[in-house]
Amino acid sequence: MPAEVSFSSLVGKARIKHVSTGPPWEDDDYYKHETIKASYLVPDTFNPDNVVGRHDRVCIVIRREEFAAHGIYDHARKNGASKQVAREEEAFAMRRTIEQLRKWYDSGWASWDVCVEFLEFHSSVEVTCEAGDQYMLDVVKDLATEVAGQLEKVGFTVKGKLDPQSRDSKRFKLHLKVSRNLGFADIYDYRRWLLSGPVK
């Protein structure tokens, strides 16, 4: 077995396969919601920005008390935010969640099985995102970093690995910490939320 491997070769060994899955919100409490037929709702009693669909239009409803269980308000208060600011942070997070749900309802979704494998060492994850976007590249690099760590434990030298003190690595660790504090299922859900774009 070779004693040296390049990090770029690990990234190059990534296998990305489209998988058919159910809606991405089915196994993720962060996206828990209901839909109500818009025709059943009284005008001016719901937010029209929450309505999706062209023919059979539905309104996305997230119960505030259920969303509060993710701890965004409590986290903001522990970090010195006033009650108003903490509520605004929680409302903003809920709005971003609804925007992501709208995108999935309007445009569909694609799930991918992403795997990096070298010899008997591997790391994999299933993600929901657009093929070829920055999020997918970040996932591949994260998996390659995990495989590099496995290789180093058995005596390999990994050349060109991301510096643990680099800005990217620090940002990754920060995202991981924040994702857990905000109640995301994992860092990939948090990154998808971050990269979903500004609220319209």
Residues 61 and 127 both lie in one domain: no
Calpha distance 107→53 (Å, rounded): 10
Residues 144 and 183 both lie in one domain: yes
In this predicted structure, what is the pLDDT of residue 2?
Answer: 57
From 77, 107, 137, the end of a domain falls on 107
Calpha distance 149→139 (Å, rounded): 15
Tens of pLDDT, residue by residue, the chain (200 residues):
558 889 889 888 888 887 767 777 776 777 788 888 877 776 666 777 677 766 677 888 888 888 888 888 888 898 888 999 889 988 888 888 888 888 888 777 778 888 999 999 989 888 776 655 677 778 888 888 889 989 989 888 888 876 654 545 555 555 556 565 565 655 666 666 655 544 44
39 inside domain: yes
Question: Can you give the pTM of this predicted structure?
Answer: 0.54
Calpha distance 121→70 (Å, rounded): 35
Residues 100 and 56 both lie in one domain: yes
Residues 99 and 155 both lie in one domain: no
Q: Is the dihedral of CA 124, 128, 129, 131 positive or negative?
A: positive
Number of folded domains in the chain? 2
For the chain, the residue count is 200
Residues 17 and 114 both lie in one domain: yes
In this predicted structure, what is the pLDDT of residue 200?
Answer: 40
Tokens for 35? Answer: 């839909």
From 80, 107, 134, the end of a domain falls on 107
Its domain, for residue 44, covers 29-107
199 inside domain: no
Calpha distance 142→144 (Å, rounded): 5
Residues 122 and 179 both lie in one domain: yes
- Tell me the CB-side half-sphere exposure of residue 52, using CA atoms within 13 A: 16
15 inside domain: yes
Residues 124 and 169 both lie in one domain: yes
The β-bridge partners of 36 are 59
In this predicted structure, what is the pLDDT of residue 167?
Answer: 43
